[in-house]
């Protein structure tokens, strides 16, 4: 049981990264970004591209860095992929969402277009890499399980917690101390007033997508390191991501962090009596109960609706 | 015809509406440097709409708006704010999850210079805020929030500040305090366009007053003359 | 391709397009007229198909019974399957609607995604229900004894068309009635509609269930055409997304548009098959993904350039589609 809890935290931290990005986008752009899960998929596969492509050609060593399961290549590919997905997210916004925004399209149309983007991204991944499962370092037996305090964890997983912690900390500093960070929070509070104040909304939006995309990519890569890559991985995260975001109150970064952990633990604990494939359904059930009982999430604030 | 004498803002015969329905019909007004101009009139007269139009939130269907000699009709809010006009909406006029200081910092978003001295000045103006400067603005009382809203608008050293019903919903002790602060702000040379339900106070502190009803100019005159006006007293000042 | 072959091809095309047209009509009731953002069509598709299958398939006998588990096998004739499909879909919609219809649009959308995924997961994992991932095969086809199997599709096409026409007629009647006007008022401006004293939730529920029943019938038609179904048919892609592309292409809030959209987008879908048949061998396995990529891009183009679809909305109810 304790082991399920611990792994739930690990999984939950990955969900958190995605949920934080989703929460930011939801809070500022006010529409349900159904493509967020597939941005995770994109991040994982872009990293795979770097690992098997340019970094291999450059002769970067693929020697396994014990006690972890990966090599130097993933370490280099990680930030590269985050940057690529950040850029792609901004480009998608310029190409698609901005055009719809400028036409004052309804938020339903925007959510629908996000759904379309999710399929486009997934198809692109399927076209390039096919439907099989992939690994960053194939053939590696997950290195020996550690046993601190009687609970088993892989060194990879401890690192995942560390990386998520770091990224969240960096984000925290960014949102608190930088002008753009404060402007993002301001825009999330009240976009109208932000405009009146003279804040450049389009720039805020670009930063939002960049950060959201980068965090989603990171989450995808971490999942790929921990488990595996497959083209549907992001879509399977969609329900947990939304559940976590709503649980933590939309627009609230720390709420999304907590929400992700809670959802992760709940999902993992459910495997004690349900098949693991039902995990998204568990997240979904939690979300439905939440929406009925306390739609504004743990931290309240306006229950962000479209109306 | 745009600029005469001391006027820094001239609104010439603007007609504004949402879609088919018009709210303002050929409304004009003028603000001179350093003046307090109050706009009074019944509910639904279009007073707030006039402020929104000046600030560029709404585009006039006809008519012009001049800032000194410059035609600013149809400019968007982010351009207007750069010209030296600031706007404090009636509701939702602060960033609730940001601290007082962060609200002020956002007010200075488009400034590239060091705005710390200005923050100091604002805190001087509103000493109550100094104690609460790291509190989330949404947790403050109504009067304190209004001060944050005005402080935010003042961060850019505007020539003109537009205030939409600043005393609305405030407890009486805060009402007089807010009006006091508006006088103080004006004394530093900032022109104020004030839309107010509280017509008496609004005219008492103003230099000039405009009476708006049904989206049209009804009357305008020096504020003291309006206060003495029989009709005005009867209709708008409660006799 | 000689004329016989071409004709046969067109008939299969028309059958599939017609089946999808049933789905778009169902979605139109929910979305086009009532503004319910249902991204879980695949769920009702699945329920309708499986219900009809379970009602109409004969009890497995002999060796076959060793391999197949299913909760029901009533062996009843086709019309029972259709009715059962509609009822089951409608019932599930009712259950789902109770908690979710009071949610705002975006939350409703997410909820419908969750429901469709959950339904698919259940059918995939619960072997006892309908044979799990292997699904059900050998589904009976109505009136199959009547003609030579080579010409059976003509009969099925007739069945599909008749069903489509009946459903179209029923929906048109409902929409023009006072009930339909309330739906449209809800879609236009829910707040005012509520203030005029109507029980909004009740109307939404009725539209939701009605639409789901139509989708259930579509599922049944699909099942008996393909004669075999399994959970991986009812994916978000084939079971939900493509139907949305169809309704956006044709025009939401417009029944003729819905049908037109189904035929046009299905034609494009078949068209992409031709396009990809020219691909070099190495890409052949990627063909379905390329085709779906194009459909996805098509949707984006529609949303950006012509969100009202080909026929636009029916009346002057010109709120953003």
C289, C295, C298, C299: CA torsion to nearest 10: -110
- Closest CA–CA distance from residue A67 to any residue of chain B (Å): 43
- pTM for this entry: 0.89
Scanning C8-37 for CB atoms below 8 A from A yields: 37
- Read off the pLDDT of each residue in A1-15 and give the average, rounded to a whole number: 89
Distance (Å) from the C-alpha of residue B4 to the closest C-alpha of chain A? 29
CA distance C98 to C58: 34
The count of residues in chain C is 321
pLDDT for res A307 = 29
| Other residues' Cβ atoms within 10 Å of the Cβ of residue B126 | 23
Name beta bridge partners: B16: B24
Give the per-residue pLDDT at C105: 84
Tokens read off for C230: 């399994």
Calculate mean pLDDT across residues A261-272: 94
Inform me whether the pLDDT recorded for C302 exceeds 50.
yes
C285/A288 CB distance under 8 A = no
pLDDT the model gives residue A305:
40
Determine the pLDDT at residue C314.
Answer: 66
Question: What would the mean pLDDT of B85-110 be, rounded to a whole number?
Answer: 93
* pLDDT at C316 exceeding the cut of 50: no
| Cβ-defined contact of A185 to B95 (cutoff 8 Å) | yes
Rounded average pLDDT over B116-136: 90
* CB spacing of B89 vs A193 below 8 angstroms: yes
**DSSP secondary structure string, B32-72?**
ETT-EEEEE-STTSSHHHHHHHHTTSS--SEEEEEETTEE-
Enumerate the domain spans of chain A: 2-293
- Summarize pLDDT for C185-203 with one digit per residue, the tens: 887 777 777 777 668 888 8
Q: What pLDDT is stored for residue C126 in this prediction?
A: 86
Tell me which H or E stretch contains B220. strand B216-222
Q: Could you report the per-residue pLDDT of B59-93, keeping only the tens digit for each?
A: 899 999 999 889 999 898 888 999 999 999 998 89
- Tell me the HSE value of A3 on the side-chain side, using a 13 A CA sphere: 11
pLDDT category of residue C208 using cuts at 50, 70 and 90: very high
Find the mean pLDDT for residues B197-201. Answer: 84
Strands B21-32 and B7-18: what pairing? antiparallel
Banded model confidence at residue A306, pLDDT cuts 50, 70, 90:
very low
Assign B229 a pLDDT band (cuts: 50, 70, 90).
confident
Secondary element (H or E) of residue C105: helix C105-125
Q: Considering only CB atoms, which chain B residues are within 8 Å of A192?
A: 89, 92
State how far the alpha carbon of C278 is from the alpha carbons of A122, C82, C200, C272, C273, in Å. Answer: 23, 39, 52, 10, 9
Collect all residues of chain A within an 8 Å Cβ-Cβ radius of residue B94: 190, 193
For domain A2-293, give the fold.
Answer: ABC transporter involved in vitamin B12 uptake, BtuC (1.10.3470)
| Residues in Cβ contact with B158 at an 8 Å cutoff, skipping those fewer than 6 apart | B84, B85, B86, B190
DSSP state of C146: S
Domain ranges, ordered by start, for chain C: 8-233
Contact call for A301 and B95, based on CB within 8 A: no
Average of per-residue pLDDT across B97-114: 91
Is B58:B52 a contact under the CB 8 Å cutoff?
yes
From the list A104, A278, A306, the residue facing C106 with the nearest CB is A306
B4: pLDDT strictly greater than 70: no
Confidence of residue A212 (pLDDT cuts 50, 70, 90): very high
Range of lowest pLDDT (A27-31, C297-301, C312-316): C312-316
pLDDT confidence bin for A267, thresholds 50/70/90: very high
For C182, residues 6+ apart whose C-beta sits below 8 A from its C-beta are C193, C198, C203
Q: Is the pLDDT of residue B116 over 60?
A: yes
Cβ distance B54 to B11 under 8 Å? Answer: yes
Q: What's the rounded mean pLDDT across residues A215-236? A: 94
- In this prediction, residue B5 has a pLDDT band, given cuts at 50, 70 and 90, of low
Question: Which one, of C2, C18, C1, lies nearest residue C154 by Cα?
Answer: C18
Q: Answer whether A288 sits within 8 Å of C296, measured CB to CB.
A: no
pLDDT for residue B238: 64
Better-scored residue on pLDDT, B215 or A34: A34
Q: Is B211 strand, coil or helix? A: strand
Give the 3-state secondary structure of residue A117. helix
Report whether pLDDT(A143) > 70: no
Alpha helices in chain A (DSSP H): 2-29, 36-52, 54-57, 72-92, 98-102, 107-129, 155-177, 179-189, 191-197, 201-226, 233-247, 253-270, 279-293
- In this predicted structure, what is the pLDDT of residue C237? 87
Note whether A255 and A299 are within 8 A (CB): yes
C24-40: average pLDDT: 92
Question: Percent of chain A scored above 70 by pLDDT?
Answer: 94
**Mean per-residue pLDDT of chain C:** 86
Report which of residues C187 and A12 the model is more confident about: A12
- Nearest 10 degrees: Cα torsion C235, C240, C243, C247: -170
Put simply, whether A179 touches B (Cβ < 8 Å) is: yes
pLDDT at position C317 over 80: no
Residue C309: pLDDT band by 50, 70, 90 thresholds?
Answer: confident
Separation of first and last alpha carbons in chain A: 43
Q: Is the pLDDT of residue A16 over 90?
A: yes
pLDDT at C93: 94
- Comparing CA positions, the residue from C171, C176, C129 lying closest to residue C259 is C171
Interface test with C, best of A118, A281, A287, A289 (most C CBs within 10 A): A281
Query: C67 pLDDT band (50/70/90 cuts)?
Result: low
> Given pLDDT bands bounded at 50, 70 and 90, which one contains residue C299?
very high
> What angle is formed at CA C236 by the lines to CA C232 and CA C237, rounded to 5 degrees?
90
Average pLDDT, chain B: 88
Lookup: tokens for A277: 């494939």
Q: Does A143 touch chain C (CB under 8 A)?
A: no
Write the pLDDT tens digit of every residue in A157-207.
889 999 999 999 999 999 999 999 999 999 999 999 999 998 999 999 999
Backbone φ, ψ for residue B117 (5° rounding): -60, -40
Q: Which pLDDT tens digit goes with each residue over C164-175?
A: 999 999 999 988
Per-residue pLDDT at C65: 67
- Rounded mean pLDDT, A6-33: 93
Closest approach of C145 to chain A, Cα-based (Å) = 41
Mutation pick from B96, B102, B107, B109 vs chain A, by most beta carbons of A within 10 Å, is B109
Residues 105-164 of C with CB under 8 A from A: 105-107, 109-111, 113-115, 117-118, 121, 124-125
How far apart, in Å, do the first and last CA atoms of chain C sit? 41
- The answer on pLDDT for C109 being more than 60 is yes
* Partners of residue C241 in chain A, C-beta under 8 Å: 115-116, 119
Residue C61 has pLDDT above 80, yes or no: no
Report whether A243 contacts A15 (CB < 8 A): no
pLDDT (0 to 100) of residue A123: 95
Residue B88: predicted pLDDT: 94
- What does the alpha-carbon distance between residue B170 and residue B173 come to, in Å, rounded to a whole number? 8
Whether the pLDDT of residue C73 is over 80: the answer is: no
- Cα gap A252→A258, rounded to integer Å: 10
Tell me the chain A residues in contact with residue B107 when contact means C-beta distances shorter than 8 Å.
Answer: 197
Residue written as token pair 């497959």: A230
């Amino acid at each position: 049981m304790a082991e399920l809890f611990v792994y739930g935290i690990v999984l939950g931290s990955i969900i958190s990264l995605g949920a934080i990005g989703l929460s930011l986008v939801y809070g500022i752009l006010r529409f349900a970004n159904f493509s967020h899960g597939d941005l995770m998929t994109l991040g994982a596969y872009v990293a795979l591209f770097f690992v098997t492509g340019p970094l291999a050609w450059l002769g970067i060593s693929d020697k396994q860095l014990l006690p972890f399961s990966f090599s130097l290549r993933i370490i280099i590919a990680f930030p590269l992929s985050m940057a690529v997905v950040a850029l792609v997210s901004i480009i998608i916004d310029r190409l698609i969402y901005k055009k719809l925004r400028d036409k004052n399209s309804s938020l339903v149309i925007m959510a629908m277009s996000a759904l379309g983007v999710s399929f486009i991204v997934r198809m692109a991944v399927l076209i390039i890499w096919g439907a099989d499962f992939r690994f960053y370092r194939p053939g590696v037996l997950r290195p020996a399980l550690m046993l601190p305090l009687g609970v088993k964890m892989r060194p990879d997983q401890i690192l995942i917690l560390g990386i998520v912690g770091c990224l969240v900390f960096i984000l925290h500093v960014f949102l608190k101390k930088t002008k753009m960070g404060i402007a993002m929070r301001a825009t999330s509070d009240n976009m109208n007033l932000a405009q009146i104040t003279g804040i450049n909304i389009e720039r805020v939006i670009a930063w939002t997508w960049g950060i959201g995309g980068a965090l989603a990519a990171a989450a995808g890569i971490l999942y790929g390191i921990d488990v595996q890559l497959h083209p549907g991985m992001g879509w399977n995260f969609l329900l947990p991501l939304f559940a976590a975001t709503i649980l933590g109150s939309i627009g609230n970064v720390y709420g999304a962090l907590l929400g992700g952990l809670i959802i992760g633990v709940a999902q993992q604990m459910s495997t004690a009596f349900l098949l693991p494939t039902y995990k998204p359904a568990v997240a979904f059930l939690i979300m439905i109960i939440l929406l009925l009982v306390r739609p504004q999430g743990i931290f309240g604030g306006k229950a962000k609706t479209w109306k | 015809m745009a600029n005469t004498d001391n006027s820094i803002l001239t609104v010439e015969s603007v007609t504004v509406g949402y879609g088919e329905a018009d709210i303002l019909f050929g409304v004009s007004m003028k603000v001179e440097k350093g003046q307090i101009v109050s706009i009074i009139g019944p509910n639904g007269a279009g007073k707030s709409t006039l402020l929104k139009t000046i600030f560029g939130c709404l585009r006039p269907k006809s008519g012009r708006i001049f800032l000194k000699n410059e035609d600013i009709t149809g400019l968007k809010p982010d351009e207007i704010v750069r010209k030296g006009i600031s706007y404090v909406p009636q509701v939702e006029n602060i960033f609730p999850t940001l601290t007082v200081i962060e609200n002020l910092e956002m007010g200075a978003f488009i400034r590239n210079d060091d705005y710390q001295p200005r923050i100091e000045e604002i805190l001087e103006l509103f000493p109550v805020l100094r104690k609460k400067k790291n509190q989330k603005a949404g947790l403050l009382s109504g009067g304190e929030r209004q001060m944050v809203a005005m402080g935010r608008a003042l961060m850019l050293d505007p020539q003109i500040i537009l205030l939409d019903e600043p005393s609305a919903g405030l407890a009486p002790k805060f009402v007089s305090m807010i009006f006091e602060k508006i006088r103080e702000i004006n004394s530093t040379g900032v022109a104020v366009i004030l839309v107010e339900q509280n017509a008496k106070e609004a005219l008492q502190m103003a230099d000039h007053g405009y009476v708006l009803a049904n989206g049209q100019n009804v009357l305008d005159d020096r504020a003291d003359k309006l206060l003495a006006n029989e009709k005005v007293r009867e209709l708008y000042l409660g006799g | 391709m000689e004329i016989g072959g071409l004709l046969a091809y067109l008939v299969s095309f028309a059958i599939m397009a017609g089946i999808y047209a049933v789905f778009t009509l169902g979605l139109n009731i929910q979305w086009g007229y009532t503004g319910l953002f249902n991204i879980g069509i695949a769920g009702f598709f699945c329920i309708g198909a499986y219900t009809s299958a379970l009602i109409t398939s004969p009890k497995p006998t002999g060796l076959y019974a060793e391999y197949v588990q299913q909760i029901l096998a009533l062996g009843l004739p086709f019309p029972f399957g259709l009715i059962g499909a509609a009822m089951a879909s409608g019932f599930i919609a009712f259950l789902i609607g109770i908690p979710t219809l009071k949610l705002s649009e975006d939350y409703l959308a997410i909820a419908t995604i969750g429901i469709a995924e959950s339904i698919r997961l259940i059918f995939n994992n619960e072997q006892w229900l309908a044979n799990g991932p292997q699904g059900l095969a050998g589904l009976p086809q109505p009136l199959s004894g009547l003609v030579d199997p080579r010409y059976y599709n003509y009969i099925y096409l007739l069945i599909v068309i008749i069903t489509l026409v009946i459903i179209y007629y029923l929906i048109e009647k409902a929409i023009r009635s006072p009930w339909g006007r309330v739906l449209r008022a809800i879609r236009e401006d829910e707040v005012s509609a509520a203030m005029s004293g109507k029980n909004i939730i009740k109307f939404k529920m009725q539209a939701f269930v009605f639409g789901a029943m139509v989708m259930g019938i579509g599922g049944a038609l699909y099942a008996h055409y393909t004669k075999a179904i399994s959970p991986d048919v009812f994916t978000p892609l084939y079971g939900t997304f493509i139907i949305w592309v169809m309704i956006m292409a044709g025009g939401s809030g417009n029944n003729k548009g819905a049908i037109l959209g189904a035929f046009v987008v299905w034609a494009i879908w078949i068209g992409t098959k031709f396009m990809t048949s020219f691909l070099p061998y190495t890409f052949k396995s990627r063909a379905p993904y390329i085709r779906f990529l194009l459909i996805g891009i098509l949707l984006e183009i529609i949303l950006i350039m012509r969100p009202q679809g080909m026929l636009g909305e029916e009346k002057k109810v010109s709120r953003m589609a």
